Amino acid sequence: MVLLESKADKRLGRQTVAFANPPVLAAAAAVAGPMEGEGPLGRLFDEVVPDRLVGQKTWEQAEVKLLEKAIHRALGKAGLKPTDLDWIVSGDLLNQLGASSFAGRTLDRPFFGVFGACAAWAESLTLAAMMIDGGFAHRVGVAASSHHEAAERQFRYPIEMGYQRPPTATWTVTGAGAAVLVDPRAVGDGAWPRITHATPGRLVDMGIKDPFDLGSAMAPAAADTIEAHLRDTGRGPGDYDLIITGDLGQAGRAIAVELLMQVGYNAEPVLDDCGLMIYDRKRQDVHCGGSGCACSATVFAARFFGDLRAGRMRRMLLVSTGAMFSPTTFQQGESIPGIAYAVAVESQSAAREEDR
Amino acid sequence: MVLLESKADKRLGRQTVAFANPPVLAAAAAVAGPMEGEGPLGRLFDEVVPDRLVGQKTWEQAEVKLLEKAIHRALGKAGLKPTDLDWIVSGDLLNQLGASSFAGRTLDRPFFGVFGACAAWAESLTLAAMMIDGGFAHRVGVAASSHHEAAERQFRYPIEMGYQRPPTATWTVTGAGAAVLVDPRAVGDGAWPRITHATPGRLVDMGIKDPFDLGSAMAPAAADTIEAHLRDTGRGPGDYDLIITGDLGQAGRAIAVELLMQVGYNAEPVLDDCGLMIYDRKRQDVHCGGSGCACSATVFAARFFGDLRAGRMRRMLLVSTGAMFSPTTFQQGESIPGIAYAVAVESQSAAREEDR
């Protein structure tokens, strides 16, 4: 067969979508564990649970509770009930999406589970924005979670072993972030954060095989997606108040800055990393920084959503980063592919000026 | 905040999407393992690999190869290269999407990983159809895979243990299915199978805890999604030539038929199951039938795509079914939520008559 040439009407360049009617982030909420609560963003979280088990018997059940709490808090802030949602899009790190699946069970709405490792937050936001701008949904719940102890047990060793973590290791955030994304026609003219663009990422594998250095495994994917976004939109790093990666940590951030420099973009002044913001790295023993699906989800919901809503920030590029690290394929000698999804979020005034 | 009431313009009822310009399935391909090749659909597969390891060293690497082969064969049938795809949507059963992630790495296009257990095939088709009908993509590659030995090792026991399988057990299909979904403007007026509706499912948990009886765990989800689809579209089972579930097997199919009967739909005459079609259950020792992401993917690609393309079938409802079975949460005493995604696929003449 021969397909005729045509171009999807919301595509910019090779890899970026520009939404015709940028979906509105009506609410966002973050629930965090006790250690995250003691970090620099502690007072910004909607809830800090006092106990890492959240009153449950297992780390996995605790993560389900964190995710449920975050979704219900986001819904509450938007004045909605779970039944008001058309769809839920959610991801986490547990095998078989153990947190999202069980949280989705109690929410009783049609559910899309995604796996993008720690990039699940922006992957979910991308799909939800497509659902709304495409006319398939009016309100979508988006969520992502992770839990330090559940992740360590699954990916490395149970924490009871007390193993030594190398300096390149990051610390999986215990927490969950959620947001309610709505059709812009639902909110009128208020100053709402809106998702204007999305740049889904490619799987990029530079041969990193060290499960304690996932920042280095993800940095090339982050740089690849940011480069694609800037190339497709014709923007430079300076067009953003902030470009924020998910969980590259200190080592990974430096690599991403260097890789972007090599292709002509100086992102150094505006590129920060959620993993470098969530903990006090001098006082809290987290080595390279925070990581996990909840890292970019909670930092975005607790801090940047508010900055955008209050007009303290005009335009940001959120780049959640994921390492497709599998203990099975690692033991078989395979390297670790990375992936990154970018979403551009703007306060309304900026979105109006937008020249597509 | 108070959100204004509005309704997404492509929604029918509470749970179903009706595509404005139904995306076209331009090609589909199925690659199967040797045992599947010996089954009743053997001659319909695009390729039957002679060896379960597909020349690799591990079951997981073998599954990656099956997935790559299926995608390349679907692309070849559509006369396309990987770089012609806007996005790839793919899912599998391996932890961290071990097959999709590694196959995605070599395809080098933006990638969305989904996890819906064995329902990944219809979940991916749903998202891909939204991407195209929403104007976000012109061509999307969709894929799903599973591998018997990789799945047994991960979910139950390594096959080397030679454990005894109970009669309710199903047999995970070794294989992969792929399709290329395109904007209908690209193909002109030929008789192409088109996705007209999608009904994403809710997570339904009836308390089943037996990992050797996933058909019973998934049947309530299948019935729930089919009921929602029929209610939302105002159709009856008889409006479909075939309603085909993914991998309920013999036990699960009977439960789904009974549950639908209880809500007033007699689906008995038209409801079949891919898991009951892929093996010769008298000759091949598979107990309740086939299962796995590849079950509905390969049966759809090998058999039903051809039936629709050739006009031997007018309209079908494909209902991939998934059990969110996690060995970790199972060991913790949790039950197994099920989920099912339905997509209505029609030959062009039927799509034209469609009264939305």
DSSP label of A96: G
Say if the Cβ atoms of A104 and B337 lie within 8 Å.
Answer: yes
Say if the Cβ atoms of B60 and A328 lie within 8 Å.
Answer: yes
Q: Which residue of B has its CA nearest to A201?
A: B110
A215 contacts A251 by C-beta, under 8 angstroms = yes
Structure ipTM:
0.96
Contacts of A105 in chain B (CB under 8 A): 203-205, 337
For residue A354, pLDDT beyond 60: no
| Residue B238 and residue B337 in one domain | yes
Q: Would residue B155 count as lying in a domain?
A: yes
Q: CB-based contact (8 Å) between A339 and chain B?
A: yes
For residue A296, pLDDT beyond 70: yes
B174 contacts B32 by C-beta, under 8 angstroms = yes
Closest by Cα among A216, A275, A205 to A245: A275
Q: Would residue B6 count as lying in a domain?
A: no
The rounded distance, in Å, linking the Cα atoms of A9 and A21 is 13
CB-count exposure of residue A229 (10 Å: 0-12, 13-18, 19+): buried
Beta bridge partners of A254: none
Q: Would residue A356 count as lying in a domain?
A: no
Q: CB-based contact (8 Å) between A279 and chain B?
A: no
> What number is the average pLDDT over the span B157-186?
92
**How close does chain A come to B158, measured CA to CA in Å?**
13
Q: B31-66: per-residue pLDDT in tens?
A: 999 999 999 999 999 999 999 999 999 999 999 999
Contacts of B203 in chain A (CB under 8 A): 101, 104-105, 108, 111
For residue A95, pLDDT beyond 70: yes
- At residue B348, what are phi and psi to the nearest 5 degrees? -60, -40
B202 contacts B341 by C-beta, under 8 angstroms = no
**Where a domain ends, among A142, A158, A184?**
A184
Q: Band of the pLDDT at B6, cuts 50, 70, 90?
A: low
| Residue A239 and residue A288 in one domain | yes
| Residue A173 and residue A196 in one domain | no
pLDDT for res A349:
54
Q: CB-based contact (8 Å) between A266 and chain B?
A: no
Distances (CA, A) of B252 to A227, B214, B244, B271: 48, 8, 12, 12
**Where a domain ends, among A157, A184, A211?**
A184
| Residue B17 and residue B70 in one domain | yes
Percent of chain B at pLDDT > 90 equals 85
Q: B141-169: per-residue pLDDT in tens?
A: 999 999 999 999 999 888 888 888 888 88
Q: A42-62: per-residue pLDDT in tens?
A: 999 999 999 999 999 999 999
| Residue A20 and residue A143 in one domain | yes
For residue A348, pLDDT beyond 80: no
Say if the Cβ atoms of B187 and A1 lie within 8 Å.
Answer: yes
Joined tokens for residue A31? 């629930």
**Where a domain ends, among B127, B154, B184?**
B184
DSSP A130-142: HHHHTTS-SEEEE
For residue A350, pLDDT beyond 80: no
Q: Would residue A28 count as lying in a domain?
A: yes
Q: Would residue A248 count as lying in a domain?
A: yes
| Residue A247 and residue A153 in one domain | no
Q: B90-137: per-residue pLDDT in tens?
A: 999 999 999 999 999 999 899 999 999 999 999 999 999 999 999 999
* Choice among A77-81, A97-101, B2-6 with the minimum mean pLDDT: B2-6
pLDDT for res B48:
98
CATH number at residue A290: 3.40.47.40
The rounded distance, in Å, linking the Cα atoms of A8 and B128 is 13
| Residue A137 and residue A212 in one domain | no
DSSP element (H, E) containing B245? strand B242-245
B73 contacts B29 by C-beta, under 8 angstroms = yes
pLDDT for res A6:
63
Q: A161-183: per-residue pLDDT in tens?
A: 888 888 889 999 999 999 999 99
The Cα angle at residue A255 between residues A250 and A258, in degrees rounded to 5: 125
Domain that holds residue A99: 12-184
Joined tokens for residue B284? 């091949």
| Residue B311 and residue B327 in one domain | yes
The rounded distance, in Å, linking the Cα atoms of A212 and A207 is 14
DSSP label of A116: B
| Residue A271 and residue A141 in one domain | no
Q: Band of the pLDDT at B1, cuts 50, 70, 90?
A: low
> What number is the average pLDDT over the span B315-340?
95
> What number is the average pLDDT over the span A214-237?
97
Closest by Cα among B121, B138, B141 to B184: B138
| Residue A286 and residue A158 in one domain | no
More confident site: B162 or B344: B344
pLDDT for res B308:
96
In whole angstroms, what separates CA A232 from the centre of its chain? 21
More confident site: A212 or B54: B54
DSSP B277-328: TSS-TTTS--TT-EESHHHHHHHIIIIIHHHHHTTS-SEEEEEEEEE---HH
B101 CB-near residues (< 8 Å, 6+ apart): A203, A324, A326, A337, A339, B113
A177 contacts A327 by C-beta, under 8 angstroms = no
Number of structural domains found in chain A: 2
| Residue B20 and residue B160 in one domain | yes
| Residue A24 and residue A171 in one domain | yes
DSSP element (H, E) containing B144? strand B139-146
The rounded distance, in Å, linking the Cα atoms of B42 and B277 is 11
Contacts of B1 in chain A (CB under 8 A): 26-27, 77-79, 187
For residue A198, pLDDT beyond 50: yes
Q: Would residue A5 count as lying in a domain?
A: no
- At residue A349, what are phi and psi to the nearest 5 degrees? -60, -40
Q: In this structure, which amino acid lies at residue A5? A: E
Q: Would residue A314 count as lying in a domain?
A: yes
CB-count exposure of residue A108 (10 Å: 0-12, 13-18, 19+): middle
Q: Would residue B301 count as lying in a domain?
A: yes
Closest by Cα among B195, B98, B188 to B140: B195
In whole angstroms, what separates CA B20 from the centre of its chain? 23
- Mean pLDDT, chain A, rounded, equals 94
CB-count exposure of residue B189 (10 Å: 0-12, 13-18, 19+): exposed
pLDDT for res A174:
98
**How close does chain B come to A282, measured CA to CA in Å?**
32
DSSP A326-349: -HHHHHTT----EEEEEEEEE-HH
Percent of chain A at pLDDT > 70 equals 96
Q: In a 3-state reduction of DSSP, which class is residue B341?
A: strand
Q: CB-based contact (8 Å) between B135 and chain A?
A: yes
Q: Band of the pLDDT at A233, cuts 50, 70, 90?
A: very high
pLDDT for res A5:
63
